[in-house]
């Protein structure tokens, strides 16, 4: 469904492309807080970044737009002041640059937020107008955090990204539409993610405690070292509201045991299989060879899950080679904040090639210069 809410009526007309000296803002909102990066439209990398340690609140109406603005606007002004001070020795001109933008205006903002697809209606309705009023910003993009992870890891090329941490989600595009697999939470999916690995490891430990088949004495030893007596684990785990994070905290223990323990190694092989299946479900068909690295699709891995290193990545490469022959598997070096800044820069110059979508990558209609994309989700469900 195409979103056509209040945000469209508040949007500022984009006009021509921003000049290279104009500013772009990238924002990453997640469970650990709000991060903001300021950069020039025509220069790589951020000029400065800042972190707001308090996570943006989520209530009955979804992500709290007012709370996000209360943190974002002071942070943006601080970054602009720092950039202005750093540029004080440079020759400065107030004359308009190409496209009608002055050298130091904020030409575009891109905000990536966890929960944007399902809980971002207030952000889409309120932020474009509020940012236009407060910062004079000409263009705004509001993206799911999986989209900014994609932009950080792959850029604006066709391919796929697997974002793995406590959970696991795969996102891919051929630059015409988005495809998503998993990311459904630890009860319904996130197969192969940190919570999945940790739970499988704890299950093997409890099997060893009970004397059941499939148990691992090595993992039982690690359970006792981390949590105490095995019998007390249910009481420690079940009352917790952060159970996925507690489960995921055991995943590195599984990786540490994998070299010598066949049960732990088997858990990571299973996890690799789940991750590879999700990547294969969303990865676009390879392009024709173009003489610049061939036609194989790119699959980028990003997130803390892959810091477990070779015990997980080695079987994952094997599974990806089997399911996606010829795919280029990379470990992403740039994160969702970098991706948000890339989206803002592309939007500022009218070169945003990633597919628009009413919840995954929302750009108010007045600002659009390209064709909207659509999302397909394996299983027939709308993005969640």
Q: Which two tokens stand for residue 72?
A: 């974002």
267-320, pLDDT tens digit by residue?
999 999 999 999 999 999 876 554 444 456 899 999 889 999 999 999 999 999
Q: How confident is the model at residue 366 (pLDDT cuts 50, 70, 90)?
A: low
Mean pLDDT of the chain: 84
pLDDT at 94 over 50: no
Q: Which residues contact 49 (CB under 8 A, 6 or more apart)?
A: 35, 36, 37, 38, 79, 337
pLDDT at 44 over 70: yes
Provide mean pLDDT across the span 24-35.
Answer: 88
- Count of residues making up the chain: 384
What's the CA gap between 225 and 201, in Å, rounded? 14
pLDDT at 92 over 80: no
pLDDT at 384 over 80: no
Provide mean pLDDT across the span 162-180.
Answer: 92
Q: Are 108 and 127 in contact (CB under 8 A)?
A: no
pLDDT at 4 over 90: no
Closest by alpha carbon to 243, among 190, 180, 304, 181? Answer: 190
Provide mean pLDDT across the span 37-63.
Answer: 88
Maximal CA-CA distance, the chain: 78
219-240, pLDDT tens digit by residue?
999 999 999 999 999 999 999 8
Provide mean pLDDT across the span 330-348.
Answer: 92
Q: Given this model, what pLDDT does residue 6 score?
A: 34
Q: Given this model, what pLDDT does residue 287 score?
A: 60
Q: Which residues contact 266 (CB under 8 A, 6 or more apart)?
A: none
The predicted model scores a pTM of 0.79
pLDDT at 84 over 70: yes
pLDDT at 70 over 80: yes
Determine what percent of the chain is predicted with pLDDT higher than 90: 61
User: Quick one: 56 exposed, middle or buried, by C-beta within 10 A (0-12, 13-18, 19+)?
Assistant: buried
């Amino acid at each position: 469904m195409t979103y056509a809410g209040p945000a469209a009526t508040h949007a500022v007309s984009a006009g021509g492309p921003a000049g290279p000296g104009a500013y772009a803002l990238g924002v990453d909102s997640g469970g650990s807080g709000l991060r903001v990066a300021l950069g020039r439209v025509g220069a790589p990398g951020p000029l400065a970044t800042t972190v707001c340690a308090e996570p943006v609140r989520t209530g009955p109406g979804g992500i709290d737009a007012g709370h996000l603005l209360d943190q974002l606007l002071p942070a943006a002004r601080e970054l602009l002041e720092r950039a202005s001070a750093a540029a004080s020795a440079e020759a400065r001109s107030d004359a308009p640059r190409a496209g009608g933008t002055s050298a130091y205006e904020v030409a575009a903002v891109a905000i990536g937020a966890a929960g944007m697809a399902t809980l971002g209606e207030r952000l889409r309705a309120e932020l474009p107008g509020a940012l236009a009023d407060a910062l004079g910003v000409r263009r705004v993009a509001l993206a799911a955090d999986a989209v900014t992870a994609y932009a950080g890891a792959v850029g604006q090329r066709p391919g796929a990204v697997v974002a793995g941490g406590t959970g696991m989600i795969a996102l891919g595009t051929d630059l015409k539409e988005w495809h998503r697999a998993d990311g459904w939470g630890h009860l319904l999916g996130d197969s192969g993610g940190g919570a999945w690995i940790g739970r499988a490891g704890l299950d093997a430990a409890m099997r060893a405690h009970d004397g059941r088949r499939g148990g691992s004495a090595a993992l039982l030893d690690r359970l006792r070292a981390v949590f105490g007596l095995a019998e007390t684990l249910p009481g420690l785990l079940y009352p917790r509201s952060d159970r996925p994070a507690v489960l995921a905290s055991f995943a590195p223990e599984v990786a540490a045991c994998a070299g010598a323990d066949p049960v732990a190694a088997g858990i990571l092989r299973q996890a690799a299989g789940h991750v590879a299946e999700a990547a294969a479900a969303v990865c676009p068909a390879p392009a024709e060879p173009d003489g610049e690295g061939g036609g194989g699709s790119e699959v980028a891995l990003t997130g803390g899950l892959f810091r477990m290193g070779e015990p997980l990545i080695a079987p994952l490469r094997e599974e990806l080679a089997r399911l996606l022959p010829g795919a280029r598997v990379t470990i992403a070096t740039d994160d969702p904040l970098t991706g948000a800044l890339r989206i803002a820069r592309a939007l500022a110059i009218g070169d945003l090639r990633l597919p628009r979508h009413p919840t995954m990558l929302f750009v108010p209609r007045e600002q659009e210069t390209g064709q909207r994309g659509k999302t397909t989700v394996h299983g027939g469900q709308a993005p969640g």
